[in-house]
Structures are given as C-alpha cells and as structure tokens.
Amino acid sequence: MNRLGRLVTRVIFVTVVVALPIVASAQATAPSPTTAEKARMLELVTYARETFDSAQAQAAQAAAPKKSLEERALARPVLQLKVDDAVRMALDNNIELTVERLNPKLQDMSLAQVKAFYRPVLGATVNANSNAPLPTSLLNGGTNVTNQVSNLNTNITQALPWNGSSFTAAWNNSRTNTTSTFATLNPQWTAQITGTFNQPLWRNFKIDNNRQSLQTTEITRAISDVTLKARIINTIASTRNAYWDLVASIRAIGAAHNKVRVEVGTLTPMDIISAQAEAATRRQTLTVAEATRRTAELVLKRLIVGSTEDALWKATIDPTDINEVQPTPINLESAVTAALGQRTDLVTARKNLESSDVNIRYLQNQMHPALDAIATLGTRGLGGNQFIRSGTEVVGTIPGGWADAMQMLSKFDYPNWLVGVVFSYPLGNSSQKIAYARAKVQYQQSQTQLRGLELTVATEVTNAALQVESTLRRVDAARAARQLAEKRLENEQSKFDVGMSTNFFVVQAQRDLLDSQITELRAALDYRKALVEFERVQEASK
C-alpha cells in the first residue's frame, strides 16, 4: 500500500477505535440517535470511504509510467490550422463576440421604443348614466324626471415629429332619453367631430423631450456598433497573437528535442556525470516548453470555439503557418492620422460629445417660456323623434334618429372653432437653468478629455511603431547570435573529434546554441505580435 493510502487507513482506524467506546457509552447513557443524526453519520462514513478510494487511485496513477506529449497527442484528432482560418473561427464562434453582437439588437429595440411615441394612439369611451334632478324649477319638465344618457366616443391622438406639434381628432356620439315634458326630441341623438392642433411656439419648438430621447438613442445605437467593431478588432488581434504563441512554443519544443539528440550522440564515458546533468537540464527545458505549448493551445481554443462540445476543443491544433520575419515598412504619420480618425474609443468619445450637445440644446430650450398655439375646429349634428305640440299637448311625432344627426353633421351647419395661445414661465432661478449650467461644464470637461485621449492615441501608435522597429533589431541581433552559436558548436565539435577539446565545452556550446535559438524564436514572436499590436492600436483600444 502506498504512503498516502497507509496514512488515510490509519486515520480511519484511529477514528473508529476512539469512536467505538464513546458510542457505546453514549448508547448506555443517552437516547438513541435521531434519523437526522443517523443520516449525518452515514454521510461521514461514505465520505471517508470515497476519500480513501480516491487516494489509492491517485497513487496508482502517479506510480504508472507517464505518456509523452506526442503519445497523448496521437490519441486525439489533429486539426491543421492557418492563422486566417483561426481568425474566421473566432469571428464565428467566440463567446464574447456572440454576446456583444446582441447589444446592437437591444439598442434597436430601445430605438423602436422611442419611435413608438410618434405612432397614433386610438382611444374609446363607452358609458351610460341616469339621473333624476330635483324638482327645483318648473323648467325641469315634471316633478319626477329621469334623464338616461349613453355615450360612445372615440379619438385618435398623433404626436408629430416636427416642431413638437400634436394633433387630436375626436368623434363623440350620445343618446339621451328623458321623461321631461319640455323635450322636443326624444330619444335625442347628438354627434360631434372635433380636430385640435397644438403647436409650441417657443419652448419645445426646436427640440423637446421626445426628439431629445430619439437623437440620443440613435447615437447610443451607433456607439453599440462601434463597441462591437472594437470587440471584433481585439478578438482578431488576440487570436493572431495566440496563434503565433502556439507556433513559437511548438518550435521551442523542436529545438529542445534536437539538442537532446545531439547530447546523446556526443557522450563519452569520462564525462558521463556532467553530460547526465546537462541532459537533465535539457529535459527540464523540454518539460517547460511542452507546458507552454499546452497553455498556448488552450488560449487559442478559448478564442475560436463556442463550447466544450465543439470537436476542436478535444483535438490537437497543428498550426501550419510559419512565423517568418518579413520586415514591414512603418509609416508613422499615416498611422497616427488613421488612428485619430477611426479609432473606436475616439469615435465613441465624439459620439458621446454629440449626445451631450443634444442634451445641452434641450436644456437650453427648456429655459424659454412656454408659448403654445391651439386651434380647434369641429361641427355637430342632432337627430331623434321630434314632437309636434299644441300647447303642452303632443299632437304628433316626426320620426328621426342617429342618421339625421350624421346628416346634419356632414353639412357643417353648426361649426365650432377655437384659436388661442397658452403661456407659462417659471419665476426665479429655475431648475432648468441649473441643469443647463451643469451640462455646459460637463461638456467642456468632455472636450478636454477628448483632447487628452487624442494625445494618448498618438502616443500609443508611436510607441507601437517604436516597438516594431525595436523588435526587428532584436530579431537581427538574435539571428546573428544564433548563427555565431552554430559556428561555435561546429568548431567545438571539430576540435572534440580530433582531441583538442572536451565534452564539457561541446555541451556548453550546445546549451548556448539552444538558448540563442529560443531567444531568436522569442524575438520573432515579439516582432509578429508587435505588428499585430501596431495594426490594432490604429483601430481600437484594449
């Protein structure tokens, strides 16, 4: 039994030995355990058993011979992947991009919600009532008069998107049935059509709350597109960097493997100890390189797969593009100009300034007096059974009804109209003035922040360009160092073959060559990533 298993067994044994007398004593002096206590005891015993079994399984797995990275990789499917294919998969499957693409749709719904204010609103009223006025006058038409009225009214209201105006059209119908002796029509039908137009002349003329909300929501919708663009740009940059990280880690493994094979071929019996120590160091380097490769592959998979159910998640990625260093000319002035015009954080800041400007114009407009013009035009119609009287006696009836009221209404014989203005103005220092002054200060603050952001963007682009040039020089220097290390190894190997050197110097030259190769790989990777960063900073911030 392994050490961990023996330790767990002892713990369980001691627990049982100590617990048995206590349980026996408790059974003699205490009541029987409850159902909950029994369940808890069973849970503890089960946990101890599972812990013991898990420890034994882990120990057996640790004692078994480990498979190499190549053997584990062969057990999984291999997918050959180009950097452009990786970018395409990231654009199709990346989780963050999928979430970000929903924001413009949400903003479309918000915009539609604001625009819904300008849709016509239909209203209707149906009611009936009855009243019996007190006999306070001979004009009541009797001592116990009952008036029954039924109403069927409908209207449509439309807020217009121009100059804050609005329009309302109403069609009212009522039927009155009365027992009054003075009624000339019973039942009496009344129809009325009315149109009302309201036009602000000062406050809310150039901009009102609805147009302010509409304009700011449209700007927010545009910002959501810019934010999505920034997410896409950053995802592409991250995918390219992850791809080149994976390429570099695989090449580092290849370099480490090659050096191990050279060491094995140059061992001599006299230097076996120093060679074994050097070989152990190489294996450690190889182990680190393999771990780096696995991490780089997981980072790339995280960017290009949509879930762990994706077949690519369980496959081995074989990047087929080669990280060759091809010097790229840098036009700093053109890059800075492009960044100042198109970078997403600057575009967003300018859009926010537009939104602030809309709010300022709205608040300034709200400080004006309210002066609204109102115009109303309508006509009415009347119909019903008409009584013919001789004195107080009804001697005949002329039949009539709702159709007579509509006919009279269509002739426009009884028009009614109204034209007027409504004025209001708050006295003293109103809240609108305070809000307007505060908004102006915030706008000036945002303008200053925009200028600072422009300076930051220019600085970032310049630094990215300098980084490209610096890493290119590093690549040249690393390549020269690697070439010199190769020549030194050749010289040491030749001298060792004729007995003029020792295995120690050969192994040292091998180590120096491996270090120079890894340095060159890292410099080439940094140059590639510097180019990716130089392209990214011209279009988006992190």
**Shared-domain flag, residues 476 and 513:** yes
pLDDT at 32: 57
Inter-residue contact 527 to 451 (CB < 8 Å): no
Choose among 12, 10, 4, 7: nearest CA to 44. 12
Q: Is residue 499 part of a domain?
A: yes
Give domain status of residue 431, yes or no: no
Whether 78 is in a domain gets the answer no
First to last CA, the chain: 54
Q: What is the pTM of this model?
A: 0.75
Say if residue 199 is in the same domain as residue 322: no
Q: Cβ distance 286 to 260 under 8 Å?
A: yes
Number of structural domains (the chain) is 3
**Cβ contacts of residue 472 below 8 Å, gap of 6+?**
325, 327, 527
Under 8 Å between Cβ of 227 and 100: yes
Q: Which helix (H) or strand (E) holds 188?
A: strand 185-200
One domain, residues 300 and 415: no
Residues 521 and 485 in one domain: yes
Given this model, what pLDDT does residue 21 score? 46
Residues 353 and 267 in one domain: yes
228 and 198: one domain? no
The tens place of each residue's pLDDT in the chain, 542 residues long, gives 444 445 444 444 434 444 434 334 434 444 556 666 666 566 555 645 554 555 455 445 444 444 444 444 445 788 899 999 999 999 999 999 999 999 999 999 999 999 999 999 999 999 999 988 887 777 777 778 888 999 999 999 999 998 999 999 999 999 999 888 778 888 899 999 999 999 999 999 999 999 999 999 999 999 999 999 999 999 999 999 999 999 989 888 887 765 544 444 444 555 556 666 666 777 787 888 888 899 999 999 999 998 888 888 888 999 998 878 888 899 999 999 999 999 999 999 999 999 999 999 999 998 889 999 999 999 999 998 887 777 667 677 888 888 888 999 899 989 999 999 999 887 766 788 889 999 999 999 999 999 999 999 999 999 999 999 999 999 999 999 999 999 998 998 898 888 787 777 887 888 888 889 889 999 999 999 999 999 999 999 88
With respect to residue 66, please indicate whether it lies within any of the assigned structural domains. Answer: no
Identify the DSSP state of 306.
S
Task: Count how many Cα atoms sit within 13 Å of the Cα of residue 59 in the half-sphere of its side chain.
Answer: 14
Pair (396, 266) in one structural domain? no
Give dist(CA 401, CA 186) in Å, integer. 9
- Pair (318, 276) in one structural domain: yes
Q: Which residues contact 108 (CB under 8 A, 6 or more apart)?
A: 221
**Are 341 and 468 found together in one domain?**
yes
Identify the pLDDT of residue 272.
58
The torsion angles phi and psi of 223, rounded to 5 degrees, stand at -65, -35
Residue 215 lies in a domain: no
Q: Which domain holds residue 50?
A: 3-58
Q: Is 75 part of any domain?
A: no
64 found inside a domain: no
Residue linked to tokens 């360009």: 465
335 in a structural domain:
yes
> Which pLDDT score, from 0 to 100, does residue 487 have?
94
Instruction: State whether 239 and 335 are in the same domain.
Output: yes
Looking at the structure, tell me whether residues 267 and 289 fall in a common domain: yes
Indicate the residue type of 347.
V
